[in-house]
């Protein structure tokens, strides 16, 4: 929805409130249950001489108990710190028939223990695409999720134009997006006006930074990698983007926003001879948590047998081809749009590298 239209709609509903309409035969018993057992407060009750309607408020909702209403008594899900302290049973039934499910308040962000595995994803495998948020298509690059610690996807926009996105943020430890093809317009909290996001560009989205994808060309495609694999996305309808503030050094969850512009970034030597890279600057922005680069072969690429001792080493092949020799495993031929996650301690080596070989590397 367009932000201007969204603001107009919110303006039209200014001062209004929503209520859940529930039937109620015994108004006093039901009001007593909700107020004494569940902590709701009485907002309205009328008429005074013989009440038939009561409006209760609590826990972020309003309940309208109406003795003339004959509908479904419904079901409420109520999150509390300790359900057992509220009632011996996780489900209660109010005198009007409404069922209340008591559930424990969900914990904050949970990062599962790492379960490293060798993970290979091939381009074009049938049945890999699924429809996700805002109608975008997703291809899973880490099916095993490394024990639930990481998720990586190719995200594809089929039809270009304005996208049905909205200001939102993620409860995450780490998240980055690398553009493969096409162009999109992105905007981030306190990071200035919307900007064009093109092939080769990358952004580091620090925890809980508000952002929005405004539009994209047909066929726009990115690689997104995040930790943990299961994380919450929350909308922020009160946020207007772009914000008036400009604060490029602001910390969000201890990290800074990074916009890597491939058109102006320098190429420097990689850790193995015959290659060069564009470093995205994530090490400084994440206080040493993550490193990411685009790496390409330049002349007589040579990589000695290597291993890493981090959480993750992820490669996504952008162009060309190469063979990955893995100790204890058959050699793997990788081509454009293939990916591999190499577990810590696994000896590996790039061989038979094509002259146009280029890949995205992410290391945590």
- Write down the pTM of the prediction: 0.82
Q: Are residues 283 and 224 in the same domain?
A: no
Chain position carrying tokens 């491939």 = 262
Point out the domain boundary residue: 223, 241, 259: 241
Residue (of 185, 193, 169, 186) closest to 245 by Cα position: 193
Total domains present in the chain: 3
Q: Does residue 197 share a domain with residue 134?
A: yes
* Calpha distance 194→28 (Å, rounded): 55
In this structure, are residues 175 and 205 in contact, taking their beta carbons and an 8 Å threshold?
Answer: yes
Q: Tell me, yes or no, whether 111 lies in a domain.
A: no
Domain membership of residue 51 (yes or no) is yes
pLDDT band per the 50, 70, 90 thresholds, residue 199:
very high
Tell me, what DSSP letter sits at residue 333? E
Same domain for 179 and 72: no
Last residue of a domain, one of 226, 241, 256: 241
Closest to 121 in 3D by CA, of 97, 145, 101: 145
Dump pLDDT digits (tens) for 338-355. 999 999 999 999 999 999
The beta-strand segments (E) located in 50-164 are 53-58, 61-66, 75-80, 91-93, 99-104, 119-121, 129-131, 137-140, 151-156, 161-162
124 and 208 housed in the same domain? yes
**Which residues neighbour 261 within 8 Å (Cβ) at sequence distance 6 or greater?**
201
Q: Are residues 34 and 81 in the same domain?
A: yes
CATH number at residue 77: 3.10.180.10
Q: What percent of the chain has pLDDT over 70?
A: 93
Rounded to 5 degrees, φ, ψ at 327 are -60, 125
Please tell me whether residues 123 and 227 are part of one structural domain: yes
Least confident residue range of 71-75, 106-110, 236-240, 325-329: 106-110
- Are 165 and 215 within one domain? yes
Token pair 């996001």: residue: 197
Q: By residue range, what is the domain housing residue 275? A: 268-363
Residue 10 lies inside a defined structural domain of this protein:
no
Supply the CATH number for residue 277's domain.
2.60.120.10
Determine the average pLDDT of the residues in 55-70: 94
- Domain membership of residue 250 (yes or no) is no
The CA dihedral of 322, 328, 330, 334, to the nearest 10 degrees, is -30
The yes-or-no verdict on residue 1 having pLDDT over 50 is: no
Q: Quick check: is 2 in a domain?
A: no
Kindly tell me the sign of the dihedral angle through the C-alpha atoms of 253, 203, 315, 295: negative
Q: Is residue 36 part of a domain?
A: yes
pLDDT above 80 (res 26) = yes
d(CA 28, CA 166): 43
Task: Give the chain's mean pLDDT.
Answer: 92
3-state secondary structure of 50: coil
Give the integer Cα–Cα distance in Å for 257 and 270. 24
CA distance 134 to 164: 6
Three-point CA angle 76, 81, 85, nearest 5°: 85
Question: 177: burial class by Cβ within 10 Å (0-12, 13-18, 19+)?
Answer: buried
179 and 284 in a common domain? no
Question: Do 145 and 78 fall into the same domain?
Answer: no
The whole-number average pLDDT for the span 321-335 is 96
Q: What does the pLDDT average to over 69-98?
A: 92
92 - beta bridge partners?
100
- 127 lies in the same domain as 87: no
Residue 72 and residue 127 in one domain? no
Q: Where are the alpha helices (DSSP H) in the chain?
A: 3-12, 27-32, 83-86, 282-285
| 144: in domain | yes
Nearest partner of 95 among 20, 19, 26, 22, judged by Cα: 26
- Tell me: do 161 and 237 sit in the same domain: yes
What are 162's two structure tokens? 């304005």
Q: Which of 359, 294, 333, 282 is nearest to 120 (CA)?
A: 333
Q: What pLDDT is stored for residue 11 in this prediction? A: 60
Q: How many CB atoms lie within 10 A of CB 181?
A: 15
Element (H, E) at 349: strand 348-351
More confident residue, 26 or 6: 26
Q: Average of pLDDT values for 281-293?
A: 98
Residue 356 lies in a domain: yes
**Mind listing the pLDDT tens digit for each residue in 246-276?**
999 999 999 999 999 999 999 999 999 999 9
């Amino acid at each position: 929805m367009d932000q201007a239209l969204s603001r107009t709609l919110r303006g039209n509903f200014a001062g209004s409130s929503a209520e859940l309409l529930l039937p109620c035969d015994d108004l006093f018993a039901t009001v007593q249950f909700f107020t004494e057992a569940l902590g709701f407060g009485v907002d309205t009750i009328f008429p005074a001489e013989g009440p038939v309607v009561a409006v209760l408020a609590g826990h972020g909702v309003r309940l309208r108990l109406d003795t003339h209403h004959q509908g479904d008594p419904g079901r409420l899900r109520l999150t509390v710190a300790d359900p057992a302290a509220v009632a011996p049973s996780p489900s209660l039934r109010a005198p009007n028939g409404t069922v209340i499910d008591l559930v424990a308040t969900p914990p904050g962000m949970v990062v599962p223990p790492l379960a490293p595995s060798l993970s290979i994803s091939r381009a074009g495998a049938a049945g890999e695409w699924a429809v996700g948020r805002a109608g975008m298509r997703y291809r899973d690059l880490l099916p095993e999720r490394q024990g639930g610690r990481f998720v990586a996807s190719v995200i594809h926009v089929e039809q270009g134009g304005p996208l049905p996105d909205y200001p939102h943020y993620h409860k995450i430890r780490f998240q980055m997006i690398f553009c493969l093809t096409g162009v999109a317009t992105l905007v981030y909290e306190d990071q200035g006006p919307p900007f064009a996001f093109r092939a080769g560009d990358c952004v580091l989205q620090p925890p809980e930074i508000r952002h929005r994808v405004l539009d994209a060309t047909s066929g726009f495609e990115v690689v997104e990698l995040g930790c943990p694999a299961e994380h919450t996305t929350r909308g922020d309808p009160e946020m207007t983007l772009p914000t008036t503030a400009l604060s490029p050094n602001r910390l969000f969850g201890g990290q800074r926003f990074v916009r890597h512009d491939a058109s102006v970034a320098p190429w420097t030597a990689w850790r193995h001879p015959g290659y060069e890279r564009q470093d995205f600057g994530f090490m400084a922005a994440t206080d040493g948590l993550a490193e990411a680069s685009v790496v390409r072969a330049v002349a007589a690429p040579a990589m000695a047998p290597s291993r890493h001792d981090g959480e993750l080493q992820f490669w996504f092949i952008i162009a060309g081809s190469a063979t990955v020799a893995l100790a204890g495993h058959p050699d793997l031929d990788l081509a454009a749009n293939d990916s591999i996650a190499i577990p810590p301690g696994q000896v590996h080596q790039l061989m038979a590298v094509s002259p146009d070989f280029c890949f995205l590397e992410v290391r945590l």
